[in-house]
Structures are given as structure tokens and as C-alpha cells.
Structure 1
């Protein structure tokens, strides 16, 4: 049955220690016993504790930071620890695991992963995994494809072999596309594309990932049919997934598919309301929802059209077409002023995913990059500390921590499915990323900054000046050294116009 528990009592004397060994399996009691024997037999608590510390130390040593304060270093490595907890392996020592949404037991080669909180993690966790632990990221992608083979669908929010259907969108798509675009291609891309195409084309009544797909296909948006149906949030997720899918289709030579999915991804423009200068729900008759208040839904209150947020938390959530959104808003100045308002008026929510890339969007506009550099520093100091409440809300299986890790080392993947990063000021004087030489030509990437000044004057890749404040994944992992020349004056960014 469900929700089974057990407890033990021991007839122990005062201060007596009781040492218990436990085996766990999601397959059988026999497998739990086999796991216990293989992993713990003859080993004391202290031996296991020492081995665990060594294993964690090796993982955490993939990134070595120098400089910064003691608190900043503590925050960084705590975040790295949190980031590495999930997804986690599911199989037993004999390789057996329960199939997705079924009773069958199969045996995996390599690792079978579970706990795919993808609405959260598609934004930055898997990008960081690709960079630091590419072997694990490949196993995660292979796991997702195997889940499709077993269940008929890529995962949305999978938990120990069951699909919870938590949150919305089609979040496996940008994860798989992002991985492939960054050169990790040792997986069955044909089956992956088949799975992604299925969820991007099937009618809504047959579509587990996109239940409101019929409106999306025919209208270009999802209308508000019930007051709190999260319609705008659903559509924004589909746009991002379809944009990522269009990039993969183009790379695979599927020209018609690429054009179809790209065209769909640009339909976010339907939601833009000039009256408010924000995205706004649309009714089935094609008119905007009224009465409308962009602030409705703040602090996780119910909001027509938006999930766990308000219109301000979602209006700039078009990472695949930032310049197009700026044009819609009347140009660069209007875009920048409106985005700055989000931070000046306390409309930014650091604990919810749709707006966590907002600080990086300024850097799409030459001369405005200083705003990214200033805001990221302030947000890190305000929301990430070594206090008991030292992260902003729920860590969402490492997503908030991954935001902090990227932001502290000086770059962020602000558009899922696109192999690019936006640069910002590193927290530390020197950061050394240990790269896996099986996947990357270089065995490390060293990041330095010339001083503790706040603003970036110039960026050099392996001694050569780099233009702009965006960098491709390929440039990053083959740079060898990334140097930030710093300045006290934010006007130094004018040099990069």
C-alpha cells in the first residue's frame, strides 16, 4: 500500500550508541538485502562516513574558488552540495529498477536516474550538469528517453518511476536540445526527436504534456477558459519548448519542422497588451481578460492566467526572443526602463522560476550590461546567505542553488536550449572548473578577475579580447582562461556598444 511507515525502539542505556545498517530498494526485499551486503557489509559507521566525505569532496572539488569572504565560500559550496542531490540514481547494485508507470522490472546499463523536477531544473540545473558532470547529464538524458520507450512520454515531473504531472509545459525538450547543442550527443537522438515531436503535435485529448494543445495549435495561444487555469503560463512554456525543438529540427535537417516550431514560438506576441505594457490573459473570444491587474497573483495568491506569480513575473519570460519583445514594447529604452522597474519596485521574485533570469536580460543591450552586474551582486548578497533561511524559499531540487553557482562564477544560461551564456561579475578572485577531458578538449577552465571592482571593463578569452557580454558554450569550455578586467565605473560598459 501507500504511506507505509516503521519505527524501532531500543532498550538502550543513557549515552549508549546504536549502530544500524539499512538497505533500500524500489524493486524487492531481496534486492535491498543485496544492496546492503554489497555497499556496507563489514564496514563500520566511521568507515562509511569517511568514504561518503571523500566522495562528496571529490564532487565538490570540481570547482575550486579562491578569494571572496568566508560566508560567500560557504554559500557557494552549500549550493553546489544542494545542486548535486537530485536527480539521483534509482537502480540497485544489480542494475534492476522499476519501469516508468508500470510494474515491470528491467536492468539498466549505466545509471537510471529519478526525481526529474523539470519545470524547475530545465532552466539551469541540467546546464550546470552538462558543464561539470557531462557523464551524468548524458545518463539523465538516456534515462528520459528510456522513460519515453516505457511510458510513451518524456517526463514532466517524474518521481521514482511515476509521473506526477506537476506544473506545466513540455520541459524535457529544452533539456535534451540543450545537451545536444553543447556537443553531448551520445544518445539516441532519433528516438528523442520522435518523443519531442509527439508531444508538440498530438491533439490535446491525446496529449499528456500539452492538454490544451488544440487551442495552442489553432489560435497561437491558450485562452483563459477558467479564472485560474494558468493559461498564459502554459503557453509561455510551450513557446520555449517549441523554440528549442525548432533549433534541433534545423540542426537535423528537418526544415519544415523547424519552420513550424519556430513560427509557433513567436506567437507569444498575442499576449502583449500595450495598455499595461505587460502580458495579459486572452479570453476565448479573442479579447483581453478584464478587469486586469498586473499585480494580481503576487506572493503566490491566485492569478488569472498565471501560475504561482503575476504578470510582472512572466512578462519578460520570453528568453528566446528578447530583442523581439523589446521591439514589441516600443524599443530598447522602454524595455530597459520597464525591466528596471521590476527590481526598483520589488516586483522580482527570487524564489520562483519564471523571472530568475531577468537580471541577465539587460546584457542583451550594449551599454546596459552594468545593470546585470550590479543587480546580480545585490541579489546574491540579499537572498543567499549562510543563515538558516539562506536561500530564497524552496530550493526546487537545486534550481535556486544552480542560479547562485552560475552567478557567483560569472556567467548564466538565460535561454534554455541555446548553448550560450551571459557574462557577469564573478564573486571570487579565481575560479577553477575541473572539466571532464573525455568530453572537453581542455581539462580545466580558469576564471579570474583583475580586482574587486563591481563592473566589467573588458573580457579576455585565453588572452584575446572578447567582444560583448555573451559567450557560447564552445568558446567557454575551450578558452582555458577567462579573464575579467574590472573597473569602478559602470560607464566603462559604453566601450562595448
Structure 2
């Protein structure tokens, strides 16, 4: 008897429908408003901007909500109610402001380039807006400017921004070009002033100009070439407080121009603005290469496609919120460093000469005190070509400036932070075998940057005293422990290259942190050059960026910074039991009123996730036989100190570091020592993840019994075999391994607790 298989129609339809539904694009999970505000007025903002940019691009076109941006440093605060205009360069997640170049703003009615008696120098052309009429996604930003009834849309290519303004009917429509807009000129860390500028009308649809400005970066030259889809009827310009007047050329230090149109209802005017740090001609070439036409939607789509390609290097499964935090984190991590070289390879070098990069890339925005910890190790796994470009850029800075970058912006060294953290970035990349790096030249740069005194790095005193005395250099404790780590990295690179004498010199220096450990107090503590401890001593007292032995932290937070030799740190503190007991106190000790300064936020006891000195500390229980406590605190940070709102970060996002911590930790591991090939295991929160590596292999992780309550590891399998170690290695990742976690609601105190299970000093076979 033949049986006919009857499939219910609704099931057949569901199957066909499911197969025909395309997968959700990863760019749909990116929410650029994450990190654009603070939780409250006492907290740090993520300091991210919502406008469009392409990966590692020169141009970041975004709205500014402040006339003189200062805090947040991105220029945009989600809590603000008005927009000043749309400038073409921004910093993502930093604690200090700069850039904000070439601001455009469309208006209607009477335009006021100089508002006269307006309070607090408020611009005469700002507009109210609401988040209900605002959109942001990769490659696109839109907002309705309510004061003018103008819909503003933005997109961008690498060196070129594109604006599309939909005007109402008006005989008084304008586009303002503000070349005076900058970080606050009256206050801030560095004096900001415009040295020279120019706006020039080429014809009735083309404007060009430049400005030379000093600020956080000591000297920046910004050239622009702008084209308009609709010819403008007339132009008025003003310099400073002078009355605007009709002209086709104006030079000065506070330049503004208003381009005047008549528009019909819903008429669209498109503007293209290309930038260069070298010349107006190069800006024009950048535009012709990137956006020769006027198809706004095409450019926006191309921008999103670039992001989709970059985001697809890690595919995850998790909740909607987790996906939004994760992929927005990747987006923020890939927003910088920025390629400041023009499409022909020209760039402004640190010696202010114009040079040419043969690979057409010269990166800047190196926030290395932040990003060496996790962002750069992430780049080595999924951005190896970019990593080589970063390092070749650093070597070029050494060749023109004498030192590797400390904090480099617009090709200029600003010495904002401490340490010499280009060194671990270079060491890590070379030890991992990243191609495209001249290893000998890199070592010359590393050694020179570790032996010649330069601001913040007094190596003569370093080798004379075996520590940095506070009466020679402020922030001495932080500098001592961080330079000791950098020296360990130099030693490992010297060892790899067979430079034995150098290895011995730098490995000795890498232990100088011991000379500031006060066994009586149990803290790393400042000493003067006479050897006496600095008194009085309060481990809860915060330092900022000078005037204290500690950098943006206190003695509690800097107690744990010996990533190159955690076993020795444990020994200094009296062994595993004393070490973990002090960690317990660290995570539970509350601050006293008045202890905290403006650099600290995201607290769990003394742990401050909102700033980088704390970022590795939750993983230290792995090294002392209590990994379940690492699991507890890592999961607490993941679940409580990140979210998908505008206040989604516990502090400044810092050019990808805050995001990189989440990206690694959500997958279950983190590089406590960023250059030894070891990743400590924490508490994964993703259901699964697969990472496409530089060797085209795929490393994957998965979790059984996933859930917010199931934060403790019950067992782990590596490539299908039970695995009790509290770490994985670089080789494990690059071999394309599979890491499988089984989680539960109670600690398994027999997993990973033996001495042989703890992370070793070294993760490479050689």
C-alpha cells in the first residue's frame, strides 16, 4: 500500500518562509547612541559620537551640541536639547576634547554669524532637536532641525563627508560654514587658538579653505574642499566680531561664512566636504577618488557595507542587548586609529614636513595608555594588516621624532599619558608573527624609546635609583610599575632577536616595581630620591595627571599592576591566601566622601571599571587558586556596567579599550598581560561566538546552560577534551580551537584551583 505524505500547508509555508528570510545584518545591531551620555551628572560619559564614519577613517562627520566642546570630548551629549552644527572630525571615547573641524549648519530666516549679546557665546544658528526625530546607524545620521524645519542627513567616506539637507520653501535659506568652531578656547587642559585661516569662493558651487590651529595637538593644519549640488546666490563672511559682508575671500582667525539660497518646499541641497592635513589640492583629490558623484544613498550604503565586512569577523549568538553592546563595541574599536594619509599617501609628519607613505596609510589617534591593554591584542587577531600599518606608523614617528608614540593625535605627539605603551603593542605583534613589519627597525625604535629621556620617561633616574622618585617626576608610582612592564616587553623582544645583553638589562629593569613596594603598608608607594617613603600616605587618595604618585587612580587600584610577573606580586603580598584576601577587600571597600576624582567611575568597591588601571584586576583570582571569584566579578561587570542605552559605558570608552574589554570578556577570556600569549578565563555571557582569524582559521566558543544566574564555570572542554586550566594560549586561538563552557549557578571550587592550572608567565612554545 503506497502512502502519500501529506504536509500541512501552514508548515510548508513556514519552512519556505524561514528559508527566504535573509539573516539580520550585523550593522543593524550597532547603536551609535550607546556611549553618548553619562548615567548622571557625577559620572563620566562614554564620550562617543553618533555620526557616520568608515572603519579607521580620517573623517568622522557628526553633530555637535556645544559651541565650545569640552566634556564630553566627542562634542555630542545625548542629554542636550540643541545642535550647533555638523563638524567633520571627532574623537571617540576620549577624556579630552579636540578636532571639530569645518562645521556646517543649514538654517532659514535671518542668519546671525555673530549673535552679539547672546549669553555664553552661544552661536546664532543653533537649533532645537528631539531624539524622536533623530536616527543613527553605521553610514547614516539624520536629525530634524526644529527651529528651521530642515531635515539634515549625513554620510561619509574615508576623507569626505556628505550632507543632504531638505529645506522648506524660503527666500532666506542658508548653509553656514564655521571655521572658528573648536574645543573650548577659554578653558581646558591646553590653550586652544586658531593661528590662521581662510575661506575662499571658487565659483557659485565650490568653497575651499583651511585653518591652522593649536590645541591638544600642538599644531594642526586642516584643509577643505566643498562642493554644493545647488548653486548659491550670494555669500557673506565675517572674521571674529566684525559685521558680515559680501566677499569671495577672507583670511583671519575666527572665520564664518553664510551661503545664501532660495529654496522650494522639500528641496534637497547636497554638500560634499573633503579634508586633508596636507593641502587643498589633496582634499580635492580625496573627494574625486571617494565621492565623485552626488548619490547620497549609494555612499551611505557603501559605508554600511564596509562596516558589515568588518563586523562579520566575529559572529556571535546572544540576547538582543548583548548583540547590540558587542557589535557597537566592535564599531567603536574600529573607529580609530585614523588614517590621516591622503589617497595619494601624503601626510604631515611629526616634524611638520610633508611625507609620503608607500602603503598609503599613516595612522594617528593612538590612545596607547588605554588601548594597549585589550584593543591592540584584539586587532592582532582580526585586523593583522591594520596592526602592521599601526606599527609602521609608529616607526615613522620614531624616525622623525626620536621616540615611539605615547599619545599621538593628528600626527603630533601630545604626551598626554604615562609609560611607553607603543612598546607592548609592537612586541605583541612581532611575537605573534604579524607580517609586514621590519623587525630590526622596530627593535631600534623600541630600544631608543626605552633608553633616552623624554617627557614622563626619565630613564637616567630610572636606572640610577631603580624606581622613579616622586621629587624627580610626579605620578612616580604609576610610571614605575608601568615602565617596568614596558621593560619586560623590551626584554622579550631582545630575547627573540638574540640580543642577550639587552635582554639582561631590560629584564632587570622589569623588576624595579619591587623597589616601591612597602611591606609595612602592603602597597606600591612613592619614595623620594633620598629613599624615604612619601608621607602622609592614604591608599584611598586619588591622583589625576600630576601632583600625585598615582595616575587617574589611587594606591588600591595600582596595587595589582605587575602583569609581567603576577606570581612574584602574589609572593610580595604574602602568598595566595593573603593575596586573595586583599583582593576581597579591594572589591568590597567603599570610598569615603571626597575620595573620588573626576577620572573614576563604575565602582565595585575600589574597582573602577570606568578607567583602565582596573581592567585586568578581576582576572587575578585565576592566578591564586580562586577562579570562581574571577567568574563572579567578571560577570558582575559584564551584566551591570554595560548596557545598550546612551549611558552604556561606565566611563570614557577610550578609543576602543572599554569595548575591547567587553568583546574579550563576553567570550570568556582576557589578555591580562597583553604581550605574553596568555588569556585568562573569566565568565562568558554569550551563547556562542566564532572569530575569523588572520590565518583564515576560525576560533569558536560555546556555552551550555547559558543564563544570567549561571555565572560559574562547572567544566570546560578544549577541542572536545576536558580542560581544567584557567587560561588559553595564543596558539590555542590561532589553531582554530573550540572552547566549550558548561555553566551553573553555584561555584565549582574544584575547577582550575591547582597550581598547574593557573596562568603561566609565558604562552609561546619558543
- For Structure 1 versus Structure 2, the TM-score category normalised by the shorter chain is over 0.9
Instruction: State whether residues 239 and 265 of structure 1, in contact with CA within 8 Å, keep that contact through their aligned partners in structure 2.
Output: yes
Q: 1:65 aligns with which of 295, 316, 321?
A: 316
CA separation in 2, counterparts of 1:393 and 1:482?
A: 31
Q: Does 1:273 align with 2:542?
A: no
SS at match of 2:449: helix
Deviation at 1:150, TM superposition (A): 2.2
Unpaired runs of 5+ residues, structure 1, are: none
String of CA shifts for 1:336-376, please: whole Å, max 9, x gaps.
1111211112111111111211011111123x111111111
Aligned residue number for residue 659 of structure 2: 401
Does 1:336 pair with 2:580? yes
Aligned to 1:371: 629
Aligned match of 2:484 in 239, 252, 276? 239
Q: Output aligned runs, 1:218-367, within 5 Å.
A: 218-225=464-471, 229-297=474-542, 300=544, 304-345=548-589, 346-366=605-625
SS in 2 for 1:21: strand
- Note closer, same or farther for the CA distance 1:93–1:8 as it changes in structure 2 (3 Å cut): farther
Compared CA separation, residues 402 and 7, structure 1 to 2 (3 A)? farther
Q: CA deviation at 1:102?
A: 2.1
1:86 to 313, 319, 336: 336
Task: Give the Å deviation of 1:455.
Answer: 1.6
Q: Which deviates more, 449-458 or 176-185?
A: 449-458
Structure with greater proportional helix content: 1
What residue is the counterpart of 2:641 in the other structure?
383
User: Root-mean-square deviation (CA), in Å?
Assistant: 1.9
Q: Contact 1:243–1:320 (CA<8 Å) still a contact in 2?
A: yes
Residues 410-436 of structure 1 deviation map (CA, whole Å, 9 limit, x = unaligned):
111111221111112211111111223
Alpha-carbon distance in 2 for matches of 1:474, 1:313: 31
The DSSP-based 3-state class of the residue aligned with 1:486 is: strand
Structure 2 regions of 5+ residues with no counterpart? 1-195, 197-211, 214-252, 590-604, 755-766
Aligned to 1:422: 680
Match of 2:145 in 1: none
Give 1:432's aligned residue.
690
Is the 1:370–1:493 Cα contact (8 Å) retained in structure 2?
A: no
Instruction: Give 1:457 shift.
Output: 2.6
CA distance in 2, matches of 1:215, 1:142: 30
Please identify, of 478-487 and 37-46, the stretch whose mean Cα deviation from structure 2 is larger.
Answer: 478-487
1:95 to 326, 345, 365: 345
* Deviation string, structure 1 residues 434-455 (Cα, Å, up to 9, x no partner): 223xxx2x52111111221322
Picking from 718, 738, 751, the partner of 1:481 is 738
C-alpha distance 377-13 of structure 1, shift in aligned 2 (>3 A): farther
The higher radius of gyration belongs to: 2
Q: Secondary structure at the match of 2:479?
A: helix
Structure 2 equivalent of residue 461 of structure 1? 718
Q: How many Å separate the matches in 2 of 1:83 and 1:489?
A: 34
Q: What is the total number of aligned residue pairs between the two structures?
A: 485
CA distances 1:358-411 after superposition (whole Å, capped 9, x unpaired): 011111123x11111111111122211112111022111111111111111111
The answer to whether the 8 Å contact 1:303/1:310 transfers is: no
Return the offset for 1:22: 1.1
In 2, distance between residues paired with 1:267 and 1:34?
A: 52
Q: Is the 8 A contact 1:319 1:415 kept in 2?
A: yes
Distance 1:312 1:14 in 2: 62
Question: 1:495 and 1:315 mapped to 2: Cα distance?
Answer: 24
2:449: which partner in 1?
199
Label 1:42 to 1:75 Cα distance change in 2 as closer, same or farther (>3 A). same
User: Partners in 1 of 2:265 and 2:557 — Cα distance?
Assistant: 54
Q: Which deviates the most, 125-134 or 416-425?
A: 416-425
The Cα of 1:178 is off from its aligned counterpart by: 0.7
CA contact (8 A) 2:580 2:621 kept: yes
On the 8 A contact 1:244/1:416 being kept in 2, the answer is no
Q: Distance in 1 between matches of 2:277 and 2:268?
A: 29
Tell me how far apart the structure 2 counterparts of residues 7 and 131 of structure 1 sit (CA, whole Å).
47
The verdict on how the C-alpha distance between 1:390 and 1:184 changes in structure 2, with shifts beyond 3 A counting, is: same
Secondary structure at the counterpart of residue 20 of structure 1: strand
Contact preservation (8 Å) 1:64, 1:432: yes
Secondary structure at 1:22 match in 2: strand
Question: For the Cα contact (< 8 Å) 1:110–1:139, is it kept in 2?
Answer: no
Q: CA deviation at 1:175?
A: 0.5
CA distance in 1, matches of 2:331, 2:484: 32
TM-score (norm 2): 0.61
More strand by share: 2
**1:44 and 2:44 matched:** no
Residues 370 and 654 of structure 2 are in contact (CA less than 8 Å); yes or no, is this contact kept in structure 1? Answer: yes
1:101 to partner: Cα distance: 2.7
Q: Displacement, 1:201?
A: 2.0
In the aligned structure 2, how far is the partner of 1:179 from the partner of 1:481? Answer: 23
Q: Secondary structure at the match of 2:560?
A: coil
CA distance in 2, matches of 1:327, 1:90: 46
1:411 to 661, 669, 675: 669
Q: Could you tell me how far 1:467 is from its partner in structure 2?
A: 3.8
Contact 1:199 1:209 in 2 (8 A): no
Q: Distance in 2 between matches of 1:62 and 1:365?
A: 34
Q: Is the 8 A contact 1:101 1:151 kept in 2?
A: yes
- 2:741 counterpart SS class: strand
Tell me how far 1:105 sits from its aligned partner. Answer: 2.8
Residue 446 of structure 1: aligned partner: 700
Whole-Å separation in 2 of the counterparts to 1:496 and 1:221: 34
Following the alignment from structure 2 to structure 1, what is the Cα–Cα distance between the partners of residues 394 and 568? 32
Report SS of the residue matched to 1:491.
coil
Selected match of 2:403 from 146, 153, 160: 153
1:36, CA displacement in angstroms?
0.5
SS of corresponding position for 2:715: strand
Once the two structures are TM-superposed, the CA of residue 63 in structure 1 deviates from its matched residue by: 1.1
